[in-house]
Structure 1
Amino acid sequence: MNEKVTIAIEKREMASGKAGKKLRKIGYIPGAINRKGQDSVSVKIKTDELMKNISKYGRNYLFTLDLGGNESYAAMIKEMQHSPIKGEVLNVVFQEVSVTEPIKLNLNIKIVGKEALDLKKLHPVQQMDKIHVTGLPQDIPDFIEIDVTDLNLNDKICVGDVKFPKGIESEIEADKIVLVINETKLDDSSAEDESDDKTTEAVSEEN
């Protein structure tokens, strides 16, 4: 089970766009906590504290949101809105969850070992960018890792071959292809350059 990580939050009374802009100027991110069958709670979180914890634990981590020591919520980040120009976080939405009830999430796939494939002039071609998984909130990882170090041409990884962390399962069919290994081909421009080089060498020899 993941260690308990607490993030301090504060109640937010005004939920207008102008109020959110003012909060961001003084170092806060406006947010909300969605609760099943109940009204959502408008909150604000210190920007540096939120970003520090996301950087360390990832977006899929189960955080404890502490509201001034009076209330607390076990919650995960459901959505973050970013500015299209500056990329700054405009707001964050948490989802309250139960530590005893499994949840479903689409997790990103992280491929490791590409350097070994490069030496063989091979590369992985993904058929899936995400894998739909089920597990308790505290067991959900930030991504699913797939190691391609020892793979060769035409090898493939199916869902059934993926090593999921303890407590994590996928309902996707086991024979569903996640990625295949293809040969790395030179692009047309590289091929033309190589052809030009050979032609130049031939002319030089004749001279």
Structure 2
Amino acid sequence: MANTHEIKVQRREDEGKGASRRLRHAGQVPAIVYGGELNPVSIQLNHNEVWLASQNDWFYSSILDLSLNGDIQKVLLRDMQRHPFKQQIMHLDFQRVNENETLRTAVPLHFLNEDKSPAGKSAEVVVTHELNEVVVECLPKDLPEFIEIDLADLAIGAVVHLSDIKLPAGVVIPELKLGKEHDVAVVIAKHAKEEAEEAPVESAEVPAAKVAKKDDK
């Protein structure tokens, strides 16, 4: 069963940019909860507590228990706005979830034992992670905080595809239902020489004389 994490929130009465600025100056984060059969509700959260939570994968992919004076609403984080250069969270959007309805969300991928694999041990091989997360569908109770991919047997020249991922019970990758062309690579182990040969060639610069001639027309 998926883990849940409780986060305490308070009801927010004031709306608008001015009210949000005052909240941020007071160490709070303005947020909204929407979805389900209930109306959207404006809330506020302690910034330091939310910032610490945001350093963990579970904050982005787990069911969260928002606690408003003991009233618990189960939600998923759907959007986070950060300050462009400060370590500050500006706004959060949470969506209510129904425990009996299938949900779709992105889950982080954790790669294990790459350094122990034949590909990982070779100095001539470059191992690339093409994806760092994957979109899954499942019931809320089955939602994993992350999905592990064991690369202990990753061979030189091997490719790990979406269909190779071992999923927890009750979890599916909807992308795979769309056909073989959607079974994209997740991990690729290439020879460094091959990687260099496939590097894109930069386009040649247009001579200044031609640019000037074109502009004169």
What TM-score comes out, normalization by structure 2 length?
A: 0.74
Matched, 1:155 2:158: yes
Q: Which runs of 5+ in 2 are unaligned?
A: 197-217
Q: How far 1:157 sits from its partner (Å)?
A: 1.2
Q: How far 1:114 sits from its partner (Å)?
A: 3.3
**CA offsets per residue over residues 38-88 of structure 1, 9 Å max, x none?**
43110001122323444454321212212123x331111111110111141
Q: How far 1:100 sits from its partner (Å)?
A: 1.6
Show the counterpart of 1:65: 66
In structure 2, the CA distance between the partners of 1:67 and 1:138, relative to structure 1 (3 Å rule), is same
What TM-score comes out, normalization by structure 1 length?
A: 0.77
Show the counterpart of 1:191: none
Q: How far 1:109 sits from its partner (Å)?
A: 2.9
**CA offsets per residue over residues 168-201 of structure 1, 9 Å max, x none?**
11123385132321113497xxxxxxxxxxxxxx
Aligned residues: 187
Contact 1:110 1:143 in 2 (8 A): yes
Show the counterpart of 2:140: 137
The SS at the match of 2:148 is strand
Q: Distance in 2 between matches of 1:3 and 1:113?
A: 25
Q: Distance in 2 between matches of 1:146 and 1:124?
A: 14
Contact 1:114 1:123 in 2 (8 A): no
Q: Percent identity?
A: 22
Q: Distance in 2 between matches of 1:161 and 1:88?
A: 38
Matched, 1:164 2:167: yes
Q: Distance in 1 between matches of 2:108 and 2:191?
A: 24
Contact 2:2 2:144 in 1 (8 A): no
CA RMSD of aligned residues (A): 2.5
Contact 2:6 2:65 in 1 (8 A): yes
Q: Distance in 2 between matches of 1:96 and 1:165?
A: 23
In structure 2, the CA distance between the partners of 1:123 and 1:110, relative to structure 1 (3 Å rule), is farther
Show the counterpart of 1:123: 126
Show the counterpart of 1:9: 9
Show the counterpart of 1:30: 30
Aligned ranges for residues 47-196 of structure 1 at < 5 Å? 47-55=47-55, 57-69=58-70, 71-116=71-116, 117-121=119-123, 122-173=125-176, 176=183, 177-185=185-193
The SS at the match of 1:59 is helix
Query: What letter corresponds to residue 113 of structure 2 in structure 1?
Result: G
Q: How far 1:9 sits from its partner (Å)?
A: 1.0
Q: How far 1:4 sits from its partner (Å)?
A: 4.4
**CA offsets per residue over residues 104-137 of structure 1, 9 Å max, x none?**
1133333333323442122323444432211122
Deviates more, 1:136-145 or 1:155-164: 136-145
Show the counterpart of 2:40: 40
The SS at the match of 1:50 is helix
Contact 2:36 2:98 in 1 (8 A): no
